Structure 1
């Protein structure tokens, strides 16, 4: 084989990777609108108001006969969605690795989530239970889809470029979130001029987020490619197990890589805190601080815009100081932001905007660098299976954080106590992450160790 032929093949491989990276970025562009507009802004306050409309004189609803304070219903729904995802993700991840048919599973998860999100349009009046079911389906599907999406990172980016590729993906997502939030702000603020009630405007925003998610998912479905199953994933014709059995099998396999497991434990703790802040911030702003929906939209829009700069900026810091040190610094900042949030006065949007700006600067980078760090710690051929464990606590799918938030509110009646309780996740996560020898962990799974990590 001649030198020119080798160069041509290398150029073709590089072009193919760049093409797949562009497709990969577009799923962040597609899905992040659900995270920004649905989960962070609209569905929490709206579902809470629907539950309050259906509540009894004591402020409780009774799904399946269980008394639940209306203000906790949304948080409990998020927690239930994660329990469902915990069962589904290891099974789907293992199936993707065994068969090499990751893309059809990816499409099924994405379009199920998009359809459930569009169906939130039909939640009105006292239909809180329908809203809870649709939220559980959308969140669980989103978790499975994001797990499969993240598992593409090791196969579309070389080790030394993963921090940058992961950061660009998050930046794409936050850019899309900002764009759609501007449109939502126009619609919601001027709902009367569009002939809509406030509730109808919210329902349109929820439905269009699902439509956006489904439409732009077509791009990664076209550009990403399935990879033949590797031997590490097991035989392609192996009999599928149940979700819980596969979860146990994944956990047993991860015990062979204790340093990877140590990183994952740290991530599950601190990211539980991050995602709970993301999913409950709008409820905190509306119920505790007395801020209107328009104010919340502007605050989240500010987060989205600054998160683009934050993700790219922290990516540059990682190139200089290493991803692990950069993430540790972000956890200190997260704990500080929650402490500030506890003291934000009610009906003071300027202070809430300042808090949102600080969160925006650290949000995207801490998530992007955590994803790229974990991609180095996955044994080759088991990307989807390992990312299923990673995804349990990603993108607003945490269960312990919302549960703690909801229980704290149920016991105290104060969202301020609920928000400050989340500091524990960042303190414990910092301690656990600082103890992980990342370079040794990468070498232990047989992956090349980047010069700066």
Structure 2
């Protein structure tokens, strides 16, 4: 009996430490999701579009770097431009993290650079659309780098059987945080006269406060997460620099099923991220909805996304993560297709659309992250997640480009939004073709009972 107790203590201590790390890990979702929600989804799109329009010429064009761009498409193009920067820096961070095992210092630098850029949006006024575009690029790229490092902790802090639940809780924390801050944003924006500030100043305070929140709560994961180094499979040294992305893709070619899943994910999540970043522009510019209505709609998305993330996590226990994601992609296709027909000036139908998005949003993202963690070989977590992160948290590139081009060519946001349906349809077909159990074995990982 005494011997059994002595042997159990290290296991109990290890489990307690794992739970402590998981709770700290959740808090980075709590910290940075406010940027994704308040900045990318609600305020920055319509506000930066208005700033660009104030700087536009008589034909409605601005000319960044001498290139004629419709003012209404500037935000979408800026999001796409941020991905180009991210592609250069994400693999560098992933390579450095895997090579040194020191993820926390890199996480701290990227998180606080992004938080500072977001706080700097307070100075975005008048016709400073170029400043807005620059800060957006810095904040988005910093978020992408930090998420590479954050996501790469998941296989290290959660055994295979816990990852769906842990990932879902992380997303739920993030959506709960976004909802809480949005309530404060709604109070400030709706009652800006009572607070003695203009509407524009209220928006800039909301933007900047997201940066302050991001920086403050990043302290929690930085205190609780541990750095650890796992030797990459095969003993290969990590290639320094942005060439790591090409090296990672070459490595994935030896695991074609992992690459197949990543391709499917990049396609359908590009659609998801574009919906997140462009929905407020669609609501304000095409449907004529005011900012308060948009805030309430996004708040509805946040609340329902918490329930959706946790509920789809439970569905995955019964039906497997892959089948649950496939079901969510059908729901996405129907919901976005219906968005084309929304009548202008009818907030109730926009709320119905928001509810549909909220119910599938968190679960699709959480289960995709946990499913991918099973397909990553040990020791290459940050390296592989640098490729994964190319279409996460507002970092999609093709979707905003398609959205921006559709608007540039047609002048219709309805045509732009319906063009995104193809991302969900193609993603469904690609994911359905991936035999995930064999993909997990090919990556050298244990296969969960249900996946």
- Partner-residue secondary structure (3-state), 2:59: coil
The match for 1:60 is: 61
The answer to whether the 8 Å contact 1:188/1:294 transfers is yes
1:286 aligns with 2:284: yes
The match for 1:82 is: 83
The match for 2:108 is: 107
1:374 to 372, 377, 388: 372
Whole-angstrom CA distance in 2 between matches of 1:366 and 1:299: 19
CA-to-aligned-CA distance 1:203-223 (integer Å, 9 cap, x gap): 000000000000000000000
1:201-216 to 2 correspondence within 5 Å?
201-216=202-217
1:393 aligns with 2:391: yes
The answer to whether the 8 Å contact 2:244/2:383 transfers is no
TM-score (norm 1): 0.98
Whole-angstrom CA distance in 1 between matches of 2:297 and 2:135: 26
Structure 2 unaligned segments of length 5 or more: list them: none
The answer to whether the 8 Å contact 2:310/2:363 transfers is yes
Whole-angstrom CA distance in 2 between matches of 1:204 and 1:156: 36
- Partner-residue secondary structure (3-state), 2:95: helix
1:438 aligns with 2:436: yes
The answer to whether the 8 Å contact 1:94/1:233 transfers is no
CA-to-aligned-CA distance 1:360-393 (integer Å, 9 cap, x gap): 0000000000000000000000000000000000
Give the superposition deviation at 1:86. 1.0
1:98 aligns with 2:99: yes
The answer to whether the 8 Å contact 1:45/1:286 transfers is yes
The match for 2:319 is: 321
Question: Structure 1's 185 and 374: CA in aligned 2 closer, same or farther, altered over 3 A?
Answer: same
1:276 aligns with 2:274: yes
CA-to-aligned-CA distance 1:384-433 (integer Å, 9 cap, x gap): 00000000001110000000000000000000000000000000000000
The answer to whether the 8 Å contact 1:27/1:216 transfers is yes
Give the superposition deviation at 1:242. 2.9
The answer to whether the 8 Å contact 2:96/2:240 transfers is no
The match for 1:241 is: 240
Instruction: State how many pairs are aligned.
Output: 450
The match for 1:44 is: 45
1:125-274 to 2 correspondence within 5 Å?
125-232=126-233, 241-243=240-242, 245-274=243-272
Whole-angstrom CA distance in 2 between matches of 1:229 and 1:130: 41
Whole-angstrom CA distance in 1 between matches of 2:332 and 2:182: 24
Give the superposition deviation at 1:350. 0.3
Give the superposition deviation at 1:63. 0.7
1:337-416 to 2 correspondence within 5 Å?
337-416=335-414
Give the superposition deviation at 1:2. 4.0
- Partner-residue secondary structure (3-state), 1:392: helix
CA-to-aligned-CA distance 1:87-130 (integer Å, 9 cap, x gap): 11111101101100011001111111000000000010010000
Over the aligned positions, Cα root-mean-square deviation in angstroms equals: 1.1
Give the superposition deviation at 1:247. 1.3
CA-to-aligned-CA distance 1:321-370 (integer Å, 9 cap, x gap): 00000000000000101111000000000000010001000000000000
Whole-angstrom CA distance in 1 between matches of 2:115 and 2:255: 35
CA-to-aligned-CA distance 1:183-211 (integer Å, 9 cap, x gap): 00000000001111100000000000000
Structure 1 unaligned segments of length 5 or more: list them: none
Deviates more, 1:127-136 or 1:88-97: 88-97
Give the superposition deviation at 1:241. 3.0
Whole-angstrom CA distance in 2 between matches of 1:273 and 1:85: 18
- Partner-residue secondary structure (3-state), 1:286: helix
Whole-angstrom CA distance in 1 between matches of 2:240 and 2:27: 32
- Partner-residue secondary structure (3-state), 1:50: helix
CA-to-aligned-CA distance 1:56-86 (integer Å, 9 cap, x gap): 0000001111111000100000001111111
The match for 2:423 is: 425
Whole-angstrom CA distance in 2 between matches of 1:67 and 1:229: 49
TM-score (norm 2): 0.98
Whole-angstrom CA distance in 2 between matches of 1:133 and 1:143: 15
Whole-angstrom CA distance in 2 between matches of 1:235 and 1:415: 48
The answer to whether the 8 Å contact 2:375/2:439 transfers is yes
Give the superposition deviation at 1:235. 7.0
Whole-angstrom CA distance in 2 between matches of 1:170 and 1:191: 31
1:301 to 292, 299, 302: 299
1:14 aligns with 2:15: yes
Whole-angstrom CA distance in 1 between matches of 2:153 and 2:240: 23
